Amino acid sequence: MFDRLFSRAVEWRVDSARPAAAAEIAALHGASFARGWSADEIESLLSERAVVADVLRAAPGNAPLAGFSLSRVAADEAELLTIAVARRWRGKGGSRELLARHLARLAAAGAQRVFLEVDEDNAPARALYARFGFREVGRRAAYYAHADGRRGNALILAREPGAKVGGNGWGI
């Protein structure tokens, strides 16, 4: 508690992800989800022209990976395929910085509508997405496999053009 009250605020850096970061991203993905993606799968995604990917690091310097986001753009829509922040960095504002930058890049790539799936039990992620104007448009029963064998329902969320968040349409 003392550390949280008196620690210096983290300054974040968000950069475009490169295929060379695939192993680092795969390690964080594996630590964040019951079924992680391999470095080869990540590298393949990062090599796709339609994929927008970002990495989050604490500034300055070449800090270890704190988070990442990967989306695929098709016409005027995008799907947020995956996003994660390392456990030690959660609750420090990095997810907001990462998602804001990522949504701006998706908009620049022509995406007007963004979709994603989130485990309905993931309250912090749901709160983040709500803050950025995402709303539930559907659900998939027993979609996610949890490490303890349970199955979690997926909520399908969408962010429509013109969602009012943080002063402009993209929450940034």
Q: Whole-angstrom Cα distance, residue 140 to residue 29?
A: 22
Q: How many residues does the chain have?
A: 172
Could you tell me the CATH number of the domain that includes residue 139? Answer: 3.40.630.30
| Helix H or strand E encompassing 119 | strand 113-119
Is 24 a known active-site residue?
Answer: no
Burial class (CB in 10 A: 0-12, 13-18, 19+), 65: buried
**Is pLDDT at 168 greater than 70 in this prediction?**
no
Residue-number span of the structural domain to which 136 is assigned: 2-159
Q: pLDDT band for position 170 (50/70/90)?
A: very low
**Is pLDDT at 161 greater than 90 in this prediction?**
no
Whether 169 maps to a domain, the answer reads: no
Is 129 a known active-site residue?
Answer: yes
Domain tally, the chain:
1
77, 129, 143, 144: the catalytic one is: 129
Q: Whole-angstrom Cα distance, residue 78 to residue 110?
A: 9
Q: Do the strands 51-58 and 113-119 form a parallel or antiparallel pair, or are they unpaired?
A: unpaired
Please report the pLDDT score of residue 8 as a whole number. Answer: 61
24, 41, 43, 117: the catalytic one is: 117
Please report the pLDDT score of residue 62 as a whole number. Answer: 77
Per-residue pLDDT of 47-87, as tens digits, reads: 999 999 999 999 876 789 999 999 999 999 999 999 999 99
Please report the pLDDT score of residue 82 as a whole number. Answer: 97
**Is pLDDT at 111 greater than 70 in this prediction?**
yes
Share of the chain above pLDDT 70, in %: 90
Whether 84 maps to a domain, the answer reads: yes
Please report the pLDDT score of residue 165 as a whole number. Answer: 56
Whether 23 maps to a domain, the answer reads: yes
Per-residue pLDDT of 12-56, as tens digits, reads: 999 999 999 999 999 999 999 888 999 999 999 999 999 999 999
